[in-house]
């Protein structure tokens, strides 16, 4: 049979087409072999992605301890609830590995997690899902809860184990410690990161580095026989030991909880430190939060003690007094006229806190005891403007302490115009941080050596137990001499022991306390001035004990507490200071003194003595004689003979002749009662605090059973009245 020419042509065409295809395939094959790529993708990496599996080996985050090794923050196991919905995982119908009864499963799980049964059921019936989780309600489950759910034997319900940051003490120095939270980084890998406080500042030290494990698998993800695992071990984070003492911190938290509950202040802070080393032993504030649940965190994100500044009020007078003593300008027995002090070219004078009335001509030591602003204005004249500014810097004000915590504020020394210089010496205008105040106070407590505060004691490698870094006590300056520090402590102790002292509420049985109270005005951002009202102050006290050799400093500040009509700002402050100081001293085995030197003297029997001789004996005993009557012989006295009286305490002497009443302005209620009692008058008191007026003129003869009406006001009420008068004079509403 003769072939047709068309068949030959067709065969040739087919041969050419198949030859071309074969050529293309060969070229493609050779190209892939040579380049290892297809469609721009590396085939080896694609195969590795499919067949080489890896998982993260999480590093153990470092533990935070107190100075004695008590755990404050640590990693612990937590569990995430997972429900598998796909039936493909079940190979044996009698032993299902997926959720087979969503309704029953939802009902049981709703008893364990904080999610409605209907919401759980909706998740368990999600169409097309391989598995589901339950959000925040199903995360961070405890080991016990995981076991309880497992005991329910719910098909398809399983758990994923992971590390969780745990704070075993609950609300405990929360703004200082901060918290750490698990999140996902840019690579989609889980990571625990510090969000605030020490957890954030020292995140690199605590965090460590995650490891990984890689292995070859089959198409279903199972480990291939005889394949090797490639493990990169994690590097655990280092442990941090703080200077905080868990016991003292607990004393502080308990006292602050009680005051918070009773007085509901707007803000509150407290610090306990060791003045010999600069160690911060306890630190807390209100509002606060629970680091596990973060409940309360939205009320205040900042560490008030480090990040915010305050006007310190009269607690600043501790350093003003120390400067005057160090300059040799403080004579405790020198007299000055209290009440008001006129600054050149300033319309309103500086006034003492009793409305500018003062207490007449008194000694500078009594001025310190009474917290007289006028006394410190005179002291500034003695010290000198330039010299006192130098002391402000020497005590560390205007500069951060560099304690190592984030966002530390510097404060601001307001010292440009004469009036600012005078107000600075008694704690108004210039701003400080509570931590700066603690640092400065250590110079007075530690014989002139000002210790830099610190919170990190050491950093330890958890594997080798070797100390990686250790903090040593560091002297931050020597603003005053040892002798000046001792004298300053002696004078500050009289603010607690003296009858006239503003710190009487802070006396502690068995221990001598030296310190200074403060009532600082609160700026009003709306008016640019200060807020008014009995409660609108920052009440504070900074004290050290024992006064002769201080082992602890406690600084407490309470802003705008809700006070009863009979209470003053020192009441809630003392309810933090006293139990914390006393319990901490006992805990540190600092034994109470057998007899605290309160400079008490026994009152002699003065009846029948000549008035001048009786007055001399009272002064020799350290008391203050007050005469009721215009005679020359003593016929009665209060307190009676044999009682003890503190230095500076009043002894009322009734003489023969007509009974007269002294000027009792500025007197305590107790002293006014003595006068009424010894004179036989009917007393009628109006108000609380200290006397501001009386219905009977001084030195006027009175008859027995005559009514004596005395009006009293607290220092806060008097200060408020003074400020309102100042505003009226300046034309402000």
Token pair of 284, please? 């807390």
Rounded to 10 deg, the angle between the 117-124 and 102-109 helix axes is: 140
Instruction: Pick 268 or 192 by higher pLDDT.
Output: 268
Residue 596 above 80 pLDDT? no
**Residue 225 phi, psi (nearest 5):** -60, 140
- Give the pLDDT score at 690: 76
How large is the average pLDDT for residues 27-46?
Answer: 61
Burial (CB count within 10 angstroms: exposed 0-12, middle 13-18, buried 19+), residue 181: middle
- With b for 16 or more beta-carbon neighbours within 10 A and e for fewer, the 320-338 pattern comes to bbbbbbbbebbeeeeebeb
The helix or strand, by DSSP H or E, that contains position 230, with its residue range, turns out to be strand 230-232
- Give the pLDDT score at 399: 96
**How much of the chain, in percent, has pLDDT values that exceed 90?**
52
What distance in Å separates the CA atoms of residue 221 and residue 410, rounded to the nearest whole number? 58
Instruction: Pick 46 or 374 by higher pLDDT.
Output: 374
How large is the average pLDDT for residues 649-656?
Answer: 84
How large is the average pLDDT for residues 183-206?
Answer: 83
Instruction: Pick 133 or 7 by higher pLDDT.
Output: 133
What distance in Å separates the CA atoms of residue 112 and residue 683, rounded to the nearest whole number? 67
Alpha helices of 327-465 — where are they, by DSSP H? Answer: 364-369, 373-383, 385-394, 418-425, 434-445
Catalytic residue selected from 201, 314, 372, 584? 314
- Give the pLDDT score at 672: 86
How large is the average pLDDT for residues 293-304?
Answer: 90
- Give the pLDDT score at 563: 92
- Give the pLDDT score at 219: 45
Told to judge if 314 belongs to the known catalytic residues of this protein, a careful annotator would answer: yes
- Give the pLDDT score at 223: 47
- Give the pLDDT score at 213: 65
CA angle 149, 151, 154 (to 5 degrees): 70
Instruction: Pick 225 or 646 by higher pLDDT.
Output: 646
What distance in Å separates the CA atoms of residue 287 and residue 265, rounded to the nearest whole number? 9
Least confident of 134-138, 144-148, 424-428, 583-587: 134-138
- Give the pLDDT score at 618: 81
Average of per-residue pLDDT values in the chain? 86
Which of helix, strand or coil describes residue 502? coil
Instruction: Pick 99 or 220 by higher pLDDT.
Output: 99
How does strand 64-65 pair with strand 41-42?
unpaired
Instruction: Pick 245 or 209 by higher pLDDT.
Output: 245
Which of helix, strand or coil describes residue 103? helix
Residue 732 above 80 pLDDT? no
Q: What are residue 184's DSSP bridge partners? A: 190
- Give the pLDDT score at 246: 96
pLDDT in tens, 232-263: 777 889 999 999 999 999 999 999 999 999 99
The helix or strand, by DSSP H or E, that contains position 173, with its residue range, turns out to be none
Q: Band the pLDDT of 189: cuts 50, 70, 90.
A: low
pLDDT in tens, 597-650: 445 677 888 888 888 888 888 877 777 888 888 888 888 888 887 776 666 678
In the DSSP assignment, the letter for residue 462 is T
Instruction: Pick 733 or 550 by higher pLDDT.
Output: 550
pLDDT in tens, 145-174: 999 999 999 999 998 887 788 999 999 999
**Residue 538 phi, psi (nearest 5):** -100, 105
Q: Are 270 and 256 in contact (CB under 8 A)?
A: yes
Q: Band the pLDDT of 312: cuts 50, 70, 90.
A: very high
Residue 224 above 50 pLDDT? no
Residue 3 above 90 pLDDT? no
- Give the pLDDT score at 203: 93
pLDDT in tens, 515-537: 999 999 888 877 777 888 888 99
pLDDT in tens, 430-466: 999 999 999 999 999 999 999 999 999 999 999 899 9
- Give the pLDDT score at 656: 85
Size of the chain in residues: 733
Q: Which residues, 6 or more positions from 589, have their beta carbon under 8 angstroms from its beta carbon?
A: none
- Give the pLDDT score at 51: 46
State pTM to two decimals: 0.74
Q: Are 555 and 270 in contact (CB under 8 A)?
A: yes
How large is the average pLDDT for residues 58-72?
Answer: 92
Residue 222 above 50 pLDDT? no
């Amino acid at each position: 049979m003769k072939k047709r020419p068309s068949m030959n042509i067709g065969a040739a065409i087919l041969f050419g087409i198949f030859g071309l295809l074969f050529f293309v395939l060969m070229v493609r094959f050779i190209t892939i072999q040579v380049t290892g790529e297809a469609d721009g993708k590396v085939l080896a990496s694609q195969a590795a992605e499919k067949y080489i599996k890896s998982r993260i080996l999480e590093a153990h985050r470092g533990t935070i301890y107190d100075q004695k090794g008590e755990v404050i923050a640590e990693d612990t196991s937590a569990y995430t609830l997972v429900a598998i919905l796909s039936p493909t995982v079940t190979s044996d119908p009698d032993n299902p590995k997926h959720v087979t009864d969503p309704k029953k499963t939802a009902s049981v799980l709703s008893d364990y997690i904080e999610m409605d049964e209907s919401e759980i059921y909706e998740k368990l019936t999600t169409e097309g899902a391989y598995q589901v989780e339950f959000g925040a309600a199903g995360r961070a489950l405890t080991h016990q809860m995981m076991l309880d759910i497992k005991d329910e034997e719910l098909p398809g319900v399983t758990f994923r184990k992971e590390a969780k940051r745990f704070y075993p003490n609950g609300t405990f120095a929360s703004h200082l410690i901060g918290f750490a939270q698990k999140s996902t980084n840019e690579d989609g890998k889980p990571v625990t990161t510090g969000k605030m406080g020490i957890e954030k500042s020292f995140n690199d030290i605590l965090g460590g580095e995650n490891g990984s494990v890689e292995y070859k698998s089959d198409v279903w993800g199972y480990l291939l026989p005889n394949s090797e695992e490639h493990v990169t071990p994690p590097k655990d984070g280092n442990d941090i030991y703080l200077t905080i003492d868990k016991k003292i911190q607990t004393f502080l938290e308990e006292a602050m909880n009680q005051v918070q509950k009773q007085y509901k202040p707007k803000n509150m802070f407290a610090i306990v430190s060791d003045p010999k080393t600069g160690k911060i032993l306890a630190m807390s504030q209100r509002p606060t939060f629970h680091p596990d649940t973060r409940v309360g965190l939205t009320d205040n994100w900042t560490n008030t003690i480090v990040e915010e500044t305050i006007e310190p009020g009269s607690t600043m007078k501790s350093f003003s007094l120390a400067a005057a003593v160090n300059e040799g300008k403080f004579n405790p027995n020198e007299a000055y006229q209290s009440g008001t002090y006129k600054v050149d070219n300033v319309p309103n004078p500086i006034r003492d806190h009793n409305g500018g009335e003062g207490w007449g001509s008194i000694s500078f030591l009594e001025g310190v005891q009474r917290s007289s602003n006028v006394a410190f204005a005179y002291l500034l004249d003695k010290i000198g403007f330039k010299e006192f500014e130098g002391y402000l810097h020497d005590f560390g004000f205007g500069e951060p302490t560099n304690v190592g915590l984030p966002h530390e504020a510097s404060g601001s020394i307001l010292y440009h115009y004469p009036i600012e210089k005078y107000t600075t010496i008694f704690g108004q205008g210039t701003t400080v941080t509570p931590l700066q105040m603690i640092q400065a106070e250590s110079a007075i407590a530690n014989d002139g050596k000002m210790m830099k505060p610190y919170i990190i004691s050491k950093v330890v490698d958890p594997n080798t137990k070797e100390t990686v870094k250790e903090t040593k006590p560091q002297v931050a300056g020597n603003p005053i001499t040892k002798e000046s520090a001792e004298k300053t402590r002696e004078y500050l102790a009289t603010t607690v022991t003296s009858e006239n002292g503003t710190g009487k509420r802070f006396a502690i049985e068995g221990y001598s306390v030296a310190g200074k109270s403060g009532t600082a005005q609160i700026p009003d951002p709306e008016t640019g001035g200060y807020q008014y009202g009995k409660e609108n102050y920052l009440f504070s006290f900074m004290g050290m004990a024992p006064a002769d050799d201080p082992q602890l400093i406690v600084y407490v500040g309470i802003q705008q507490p809700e006070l009863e009509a009979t209470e003053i700002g020192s009441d809630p402050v003392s309810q933090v200071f006293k139990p914390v100081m006393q319990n901490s001293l006992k805990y540190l085995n600092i034994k109470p003194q057998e007899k605290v030197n309160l400079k008490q003297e026994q009152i002699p029997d003065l009846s029948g003595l000549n008035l001048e001789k009786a007055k001399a004996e009272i002064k020799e005993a350290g008391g203050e004689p007050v005469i009721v009557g215009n005679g020359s012989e003593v016929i009665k006295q209060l307190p009676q003979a044999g009682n003890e009286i503190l230095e500076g305490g009043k002894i009322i002497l009734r003489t023969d002749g007509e009974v007269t009443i002294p000027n009792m302005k500025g007197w305590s209620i107790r002293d006014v009662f003595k006068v009424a009692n010894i004179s036989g008058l009917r007393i009628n008191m109006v108000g609380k605090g200290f006397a501001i007026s009386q219905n009977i003129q001084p030195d006027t003869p009175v008859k027995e059973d005559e009514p004596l009406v005395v009006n009293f006001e607290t220092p806060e009420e008097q200060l408020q009245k003074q400020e309102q008068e100042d505003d009226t004079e300046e034309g402000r509403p």
